[in-house]
Structure 1
């Protein structure tokens, strides 16, 4: 009975983001530093899942939405919140708001970015704006308030959009990760799926429509800490895990259907396998990282420390 109670408690702590008491203590120390050392915070998020109760604050510091100086954080956040309110009021006066929160937040983002056009309907169909909508929709299930969703979504989208335009780098990295499975690579090349994937919203929207909020937030901890490449490792893990099904598809919509229909257990398996290999490669950040990617291989044993010398967390 005691063992069952302990296992239930451990599972519950993991669900809410507490994978270990020591990790929480380390994060407490980092957040109480004056000023906060953003580099250490980056490294912490690359190594561990962020506890859910800290996620909003940690993400906003990492993305530069609030400063590292604790005494200024409340002031800066109040200014950003007021700006959100002013933008929303402007759109309300001009009767551009609707009942859909995702659409309204997209309008606010476009207005703040000086990109809002007269023909709004067509503008929402553009790839960049569609990616933003997907990110915002997912964040509404992770963060508490709409100002948090807007500012985190804006910065996250900017990071993803800038990095996802390197289609050749994404494609080359995927080929290296999958190089041990010649049959799978040949199939993807035959139907142009690698090129389709590289230019699709899978990467540029960071799996926002593919994973449940709990799994997505753990993946985005790494992305917001600066690793675009963890998305490629996760995608490669998916292609490996669903190899049999992938070999039967010949178009991107068919591939997206498989990805969208993953069960929660399958999502967990894909995410953990991708992150495990990514960690063993030293947590590379961008698609053009120095280290040669380790090929994705099913059930690959962990033969190295969790992180290589590339990531050195000094608490």
Structure 2
């Protein structure tokens, strides 16, 4: 499809006057009118632009396979998703794994364990495996964003499954990727972190296994997950790097690895939107982005 010169002109105009998101929203609305939906183009859009909040959850559902590309099937499919959710919920209630006052995130974990055949014998949650703690963090963040329990559970389940199956093999290599890209951007900071033994003790679990859930506020986390859900695991590396670069002066003033780790695990929340924006720019710079016609 040839590019529309008028649309290009509008894009430049909106960007100059500070309303770039207006044209992006229109482009997404055009994509969402396709039937069937073009999942590849939706991925491309999500890689290039932040998703408008009005459409974010719907696009996530499509990209995660919760909704099929054919729009006419969406209502019926969500009806089946709702029925499956309540069937699993009822089964756990009968087995007394959950009760009326059980926290939602605990219910989501038990449902996921039952559906993945990992439900433990004990009905009380007395000990969480590391993967359960990761699930808890992601589930808590997703439920805060979405609120609707059925939508939340399906998004959590499919997000966790996609992350595990698609990126599981890449996860152990992300710290090395962070070190490599940081060497390109700021070798002085990298050498300082190495010299005080902090590189091996950075909060990789919080950043990479939990996908920044519990680290970034919702508004910033959603923009990171846009990229992650649409196909880029490396966005996690660039967010981690931009956090280090943003707090460079403070980190250079610390000489103990434990102090650095503690600071990063409890980093201030006021600059996170700017951090994510800069991280996305770095990601574009080093990795490029798909350029299919939107």
Pairwise same-fold verdict (TM > 0.5): yes
1:82/1:251 CA distance change after superposition, 3 Å: farther
Q: State the Cα distance separating 1:142 from its structure 2 match.
A: 1.1
- The gaps in structure 1 that reach 5 residues or longer are 1-9, 284-309
- The gaps in structure 2 that reach 5 residues or longer are 1-13
Partner-residue secondary structure (3-state), 1:314:
coil
Q: State the Cα distance separating 1:199 from its structure 2 match.
A: 5.0
User: What residue in structure 2 maps to residue 114 of structure 1?
Assistant: 117
User: What residue in structure 2 maps to residue 293 of structure 1?
Assistant: none
CA distance in 2, matches of 1:176, 1:243: 17
Superposed CA deviations along residues 113-171 of structure 1, whole A, max 9, x for unmatched, are: 11111135567521111111100100112113111111111222223334255355213
Q: Does 1:200 align with 2:205?
A: yes
1:94/1:161 CA distance change after superposition, 3 Å: same
Count of residue pairs the alignment pairs up: 273
1:70-219 alignment runs, 5 A limit:
70-97=71-98, 98-119=101-122, 125-162=128-165, 163-180=167-184, 181-190=186-195, 192-197=197-202, 200-219=205-224
CA distance in 2, matches of 1:311, 1:148: 29
Alignment check: 8 A CA contact 2:239 2:275 kept: yes
Partner-residue secondary structure (3-state), 1:141:
helix
Q: Does 1:274 align with 2:274?
A: no
1:283-302 alignment runs, 5 A limit:
283=288
Alignment check: 8 A CA contact 1:249 1:255 kept: no
The RMSD of aligned alpha carbons is 2.5
Partner-residue secondary structure (3-state), 1:20:
helix
1:202/1:164 CA distance change after superposition, 3 Å: farther
TM-score (norm 2): 0.84
CA distance in 1, matches of 2:211, 2:171: 15
CA distance in 2, matches of 1:256, 1:198: 9
Alignment check: 8 A CA contact 1:157 1:205 kept: no
Partner-residue secondary structure (3-state), 2:146:
coil
Alignment check: 8 A CA contact 1:241 1:270 kept: yes
TM-score (norm 1): 0.79
